[in-house]
A and B are shown apart, each in its own frame.
Chain A
Amino acid sequence: MAGLSGAGGGAAGSAGGGATAICPEERVPLRSTGALVELLTELTLNGNPVEFGEPNPLAGGGTLLPLDFRFYVSAVSMMRADDTIVDVDIVTEAGAPVPYGVHLVNIDDAPSRRFRLLVPPGSYSGIAFTLGLEDGCNSDFSQRNPPLSAASAMTWPVPFGFLFLRYEGNVMPPSGGAVPPDAGTGASLPPSSIHMGGLPGTLLAPKVEARAALSVGEGAPLNVRLALDLDAVFAGATAPLDVGDVTLPPGDEVVAGERLRRSAPELMLFTLLSP
């Protein structure tokens, strides 16, 4: 399959930025042919795969029991070695753009951990994407379909938009006993919850990258693991940043999320790995 021209940013049909951008459920495909890149998301902690729903050892002792972890992926681009990018669609198994151009990863839901890109064959140096929603999609979940419905468990009170990333877990210190939620207080143990979201037009979803040489051929789909480093997530959520300059929904988990939102572009949150 020969890919059509898709080089360059801001191609027609992409979600686009800006508060006035729209968010159509049915999207115009960026290209009609290409090769499939299938990404399987996973969490890592201390460099090891996380067993979701079970206690995982923390580096400093104690355990982390992940209870909920989900995030949106949108506006995906393939990066080339010369720093040009190729916008690509997240597509269904049938090859059509996914609704709203958005994929919701819910680590507790195995099928949702996998998503597919329709990519022009070629050599790439990695992928870039919005960790969350483009601004045009980040409002009005009132009567939308999945993954932008209330059942996403990613909603916030109006006028805030959606959560971009949601994490909750029970942290047990080495001595046992539950740790009270203290996200962002500088404690050595990780926070027990992080809610990273945005305010349409003001607090935007961060752009993130994952770099690795990828050779996309015209044959079978290229399978890649997309690992999210929980240690990096926690580092961002507890970064010594003053976020008092914005009004947010109440809660320490929101402060942690805002710190992560601001830190995310500089963190190595994601890594591409061989299957």
Chain B
Amino acid sequence: MSELRRAGRLLRAPPFGSLHLVAAIALGGAGCGDDDRRSPSTPEPLVIGSAPAGFPAGPVSKTGPADNALTEARAQLGKRLFFERRLSRTSEIACASCHDQQHAFADPRRVSIGVDGRTGTRNAPALVNLAWGQSFFWDGRAPSLEEQAGMPIEDPLEMDLPLATAVERLAGDPHYVEEFRRAYDAAPSEETLRKALASFVRTLVSGDTAYDRYLAGDSTALDAPALRGEAVFFGNGGCFHCHPPGALTNEGFFNNGTFVEGGDAGRQSLTGRTGDLGKFKVAGLRNVAVSAPYMHDGSLETLEDVVEHYDRGGLGDPSTDPQIEELALSADEKRDLVAFLHALTDDAFLSDPRFQP
């Protein structure tokens, strides 16, 4: 395999561009034009750059659906709504309360705490590169970001506010009325509320990890343990089955051995089918080192725990996918694998002021 891996690196390097460069060009171009007329209070643009390695090529600005094209006004409105506590019944919980930028917009708690201290049942997933997602939530029950965006607002365990009430609150705020008019040429509505939130989430693009730089041709970007870990990841660790190079998720649903009898049925709750028992969506791995705890239930606290889980072949329920089997990795291989997972952290994304209120 070693020769093939070397060949793989050579083959891999040319196709990937540098998001850094793309972003710099985008910002630089803006600086020569509109930015010169921007007032000090004008927010930094959100709709910039291109798809990271592994995702369909094209600018982020083209990722919105036909009926919700991604524009700066919509994304900026969505960002304001993302931090808006009045979207919860008690006006205490915002989307950002459970999706913390420092944690790749995931929740460091095992399950999130909603209004009145109510606890959820699943770990809040990271919000990274969802512009290219195929379905949303751990069980994939939302086929679009627009559909996804309204569900936590109405969920009794989360924000517990009927969308109609949320819209009434927004419609009573002249600033929001003006922002909705600018973004959608319409008054606040359930539809535009969901669309605006989806627009902001599409701008949460992470593509500047050490792994990305390595893919782009910087052979020094990964240190020796991470390089060895990459070989395990795409070799006998078998991680590549669900986490393909570049994108690091295949958007599929699998029972990865976390299900135990009587536990969360996952996708089966939607479909009712025997084969969907314990299936959950494959998570993307960019910034995985900062988005603990792991799995749909937050049951694994560290990356080391995750590696051990897969190494033992999961918890052993017969419903487990046949790809999840004992790996018998050595202690060194496990450490290297964790090192590679740490190389998937995009520090600039985690501190990007554009994503802050």
Contact = CB atoms under 8 A, between A and B. Distances in A.
Interface of A: 52-55, 65-68, 139-146, 149-153, 155-160, 168-170, 172, 177-178, 180-181, 192-193, 247, 249-251, 253
Given A155-B250, A159-B4, A169-B322, A141 B244 contact: yes
Nearest to A55: B274
Given A143-B51, A149-B55, A251 B240 contact: no
Interface string B227-267: 00000001110101010111101111011000000000000
Contact of B54 (A67, A143, A159, A172): A143
B238 A168 contact: no
Contacts of A178: 318, 320
B240 A156 contact: yes
Contact of A155 (B132, B245, B273): B245
A180 B323 CA distance: 10
Contacts of B320: 178
B274 A193 contact: no
A181 B56 contact: no
Contact of A142 (B54, B235, B274, B325): B54
Contact of B252 (A145, A146, A153): A153
Contacts, number: 118
B238 A250 contact: yes
B1 interface: yes
14 contacts: A55-B274, A67-B255, A67-B322, A142-B12, A142-B53, A143-B53, A145-B56, A155-B240, A155-B245, A157-B240, A159-B8, A168-B323, A170-B318, A177-B318
A176 to B, nearest CB: 9
Given A150-B55, A150-B246, A159-B8, A67 B240 contact: no
Given A54-B273, A144-B56, A146-B56, A170 B322 contact: yes
Interface string B291-332: 000000000000000000000000000111111010000000
B325 A158 contact: no
Contacts of B254: 67
A144 B246 CA distance: 12
Q: Which 4 A-B pairs have the closest CB atoms?
A: A53-B275, A143-B57, A150-B247, A192-B322
Interface residues of B, number: 45
A170 B251 CA distance: 21
Nearest to A150: B247
A250 B235 contact: yes
Contact of A251 (B11, B57, B132, B238): B238
B275 A65 contact: yes
B240 A168 contact: no
Contacts of B236: 250
Contacts of B238: 250-251
Contacts of B247: 149-151
A193 B320 CA distance: 13
B58 to A, nearest CB: 8
Contact of A53 (B7, B245, B276): B276
B275 A66 contact: yes
Nearest to B50: A143
Contact of B251 (A141, A144, A153): A153
A53 B271 contact: yes
A151 B244 CA distance: 9
A158 B54 contact: no
B325 A180 contact: yes
Contacts of B246: 141-143, 150
A172 B319 CA distance: 10
Given A67-B275, A145-B56, A250-B238, A158 B245 contact: yes
Contacts of A170: 275, 318-319, 322
B134 A151 contact: yes
Given A67-B321, A146-B56, A151-B250, 13 more contacts: A54-B275, A67-B275, A142-B12, A143-B54, A150-B55, A150-B245, A150-B249, A150-B250, A151-B247, A159-B4, A159-B8, A178-B318, A247-B1
B11 A159 contact: yes
